[in-house]
Amino acid sequence: MVVQSQPAALDPLSNLIKSCKPTSLFTEIPEVDLTDPAAKTQIVKACEEYGFFKVVNHGVSLELMNKLEAEAVKFFSQSQSEKDKASPPDPFGYGSKRIGPNGDVGWIEYLLLNANPQLTSHKTLAIFQERSQKFRRAVDEYIVAVKKMSYQVMELMADGLNITPRNVMSKLLKDERSDSCFRLNHYPPCPDHQLQALSGRNLIGFGEHTDPQIISVLRSNNTSGLQIQLRDGTWVSVPSDQSSFFLNVGDALQVMTNGRFKSVKHRVLADTNKSRISMIYFGGPPLSEKIAPLPTLLAEEEESLYKEFTWCEYKMSAYKSRLADHRLGLFEKTTAKRSGQISPN
């Protein structure tokens, strides 16, 4: 399902949006079947090698996914004046092309919502008051289902790492003060005349970055565009799969594992002809939660690579940065050692 609308019109920001050449599809994305007894081992291996994996047999119904996608299509198909009633993002709300407060732009429009019913966002409430109850129910039901699956993944991850209790990480997402959010993205098709000028290059819908939170859970329609960066710096395209979820390690989880898991750098390219709709749950800890390597994961005499910080401190630091910045750099201990190697500056 795609947004049935005309390609987005150009505006002054369009000239600032970068482009790059499409890459070949990467067929080696780790796939984890949550019903497989080996899932815990597969999750740990995928997080160590790629910081990214696909989940199947996840228990979230396709009907639920399609219902929310249909509501997202309705929202983004509205006139610009209607969508602008939910703007500007603060950070919750509707945004178009501008990503964050520091000059990043992309070929995108989005709706960012609070994913924790215990924490009130006036902008989120206002958005739902303007829309149908059907939209709100679709969002709420989807978030509940994806959270449940995320808790299962985090507990399998703990099992694979031999961490006890097994809820040591999932409880941060379950906490009623959890600072989690949910975003609906729409990447419109690119205007034909600009595509010709780009000579086969695609506009960047969302620039390269890592996610600051613990874990991100992505589902998209059947339009490709997501790319991840491998350890050798190569960019590869992720084959679309609208019935599965893609999960990636966030900066906070990289710190909690003392660098054993890597926060994957990723970006999204706009398609030349089709719209892309994606839905992402960002699982974050409470704002006051202290983030540091888990003691049970530190080998004897192994030092932490990172300074301890609260999630609030890291979130505020990330908010002041550009998308492509190495956000964890400010929190690394340059003298710390792990496996005989000095951590990078």
Angle made by CA atoms 91, 93, 99, in degrees to the nearest 5: 55
The answer to whether 98 is a known catalytic residue is no
For the cut 70, the answer to whether the pLDDT of residue 165 exceeds it is yes
**What average pLDDT score do residues 221-237 get?**
94
Of the two residues 5 and 127, the one the predictor is more confident about is 127
Architecture of 19-320 per CATH? Sandwich (2.60)
Mean pLDDT over each residue of the chain, to the nearest integer: 89
Of the two residues 26 and 273, the one the predictor is more confident about is 26
Q: Which residue has the tokens 């991100």?
A: 216
Residue 120 has a pLDDT of 64
The rounded percent of the chain whose pLDDT value lies above 90 is: 72
**What average pLDDT score do residues 199-220 get?**
92
Residue 2 has a pLDDT of 44
> Per-residue pLDDT tens for 43-52?
999 999 999 9
Residue 201 has a pLDDT of 78
Helix (H, G, I), strand (E, B) or coil at 337: strand
Q: Among 50, 23, 55, which residue's Cα sits nearest to residue 36?
A: 55
Q: Among 75, 74, 39, 87, which residue's Cα sits nearest to residue 59?
A: 39
> Per-residue pLDDT tens for 63-77?
999 999 999 999 999
- pLDDT interval class at 85 (50, 70, 90): confident
- pLDDT interval class at 344 (50, 70, 90): very low
For the cut 70, the answer to whether the pLDDT of residue 337 exceeds it is no
For the cut 60, the answer to whether the pLDDT of residue 1 exceeds it is no
**What average pLDDT score do residues 5-30 get?**
74
Residue 253 has a pLDDT of 98
Catalytic entry in 267, 276, 322, 338: 276
What is the residue extent of each domain of the chain?
19-320
For the cut 90, the answer to whether the pLDDT of residue 8 exceeds it is no
- pLDDT interval class at 162 (50, 70, 90): very high
For the cut 90, the answer to whether the pLDDT of residue 16 exceeds it is no
Residue 198 has a pLDDT of 55
Residue 118 has a pLDDT of 67
- pLDDT interval class at 34 (50, 70, 90): very high
Beta strands in 136-275 (DSSP E): 181-187, 202-209, 215-220, 226-229, 235-237, 245-249, 266-269
| Reported pTM | 0.90
Of the two residues 23 and 182, the one the predictor is more confident about is 182
Residue 18 has a pLDDT of 87
**What average pLDDT score do residues 9-25 get?**
75
CB 332 within 8 A of CB 344: yes
For the cut 70, the answer to whether the pLDDT of residue 195 exceeds it is no
Window from 54-58, 157-161, 337-341 with minimum mean pLDDT: 337-341
Residue 139 CA: distances (Å) to CA of 67, 134, 148, 171, 175: 9, 9, 14, 22, 20
For the cut 60, the answer to whether the pLDDT of residue 9 exceeds it is no
